[in-house]
A = this chain, B = another copy of it.
Amino acid sequence: MKTNARILKDRIYEELAITAKAMGNPRRMEIIDLLAQGPFPVEAIAKYTGMSIANTSQHLQVLKNARLAEITRKGNFIYYQLAGQHVFSAWSALRELGVTYNAEAKKLVEDYQEQQQQQGISAEELLKKAKAGKVVILDIRPEEEYQRGHIHRAISIPLDELENRIRELSKKQEIVAYCRGTLCMLVNHAVELLAKKGYKVKKFDKGYQDWTMKGYPVDMASRP
């Protein structure tokens, strides 16, 4: 026999668990990781994560129902994005926790970085190269994000267009690619693609977040 208070408590914790439950799945973790870089349509998310469209859609429903993600339509596509800064910070906290306490996870992330064999570059190095004018800075976030603000003089080729627009880049010049921030698995994809095709490319893996935090020069939309 349950007391009134117990029933109410059960329901409270059930509701609270919905949020955590929605994050507690490897596929959805990766989706959130991706969405932390900007809005993407279902198809792109499916391709990136290697899941079927239907499966991806179902996972996205879960995130949407838990109020972690929301949608905006654009032409024929539905773009998914994180519901707000709170989501990003909760997810960061969880991720941080995972990497801090879970030695296995930590090692795997390091292995991955190593396997990619990609040279990272610090914000300071990038700033120096940029000032010397010896580098093409490539913003691989969705166009819209780029419009809102980007590293000074960066050019925009969103990741999903990179393959088609790769000829806009020169193989002679050094390229530094960046995306939003954190551990940014996304920029690895861009760098991998470019390196394979013979471009001289490095990644600025700390991303736009770190850049703005340091107060380094950016170009912003006049009316934000």
Contact = CB atoms under 8 A, between A and B. Distances in A.
Interface of A: 2, 4-6, 8-30, 33, 50, 66-68, 83-84, 86-87, 89-90, 93-102, 104-105, 108-109, 111-112, 115-116, 185, 192
Contact of A17 (B26, B104, B112, B185): B26
Given A6-B50, A86-B96, A112-B12, A101 B19 contact: yes
Given A67-B101, A108-B12, A109-B12, A24 B21 contact: yes
Nearest to A102: B15
Contacts of A116: 5
Given A16-B94, A16-B95, A87-B97, 7 more contacts: A5-B192, A15-B104, A19-B98, A19-B101, A21-B24, A67-B101, A93-B94
A132 to B, nearest CB: 33
Contacts of A86: 93, 96-97, 100-101
A112 B18 CA distance: 19
17 contacts: A5-B115, A8-B111, A10-B26, A12-B112, A15-B104, A16-B29, A19-B101, A19-B102, A20-B24, A20-B94, A21-B25, A23-B94, A68-B101, A87-B97, A90-B94, A90-B96, A93-B94
A156 B17 CA distance: 32
A67 B33 CA distance: 22
7 tightest CB-CB pairs across the interface, nearest first? A21-B24, A24-B24, A15-B105, A67-B101, A20-B24, A13-B26, A20-B23
Nearest to A95: B16
Nearest to A21: B24
Contacts of A5: 112, 115-116, 192
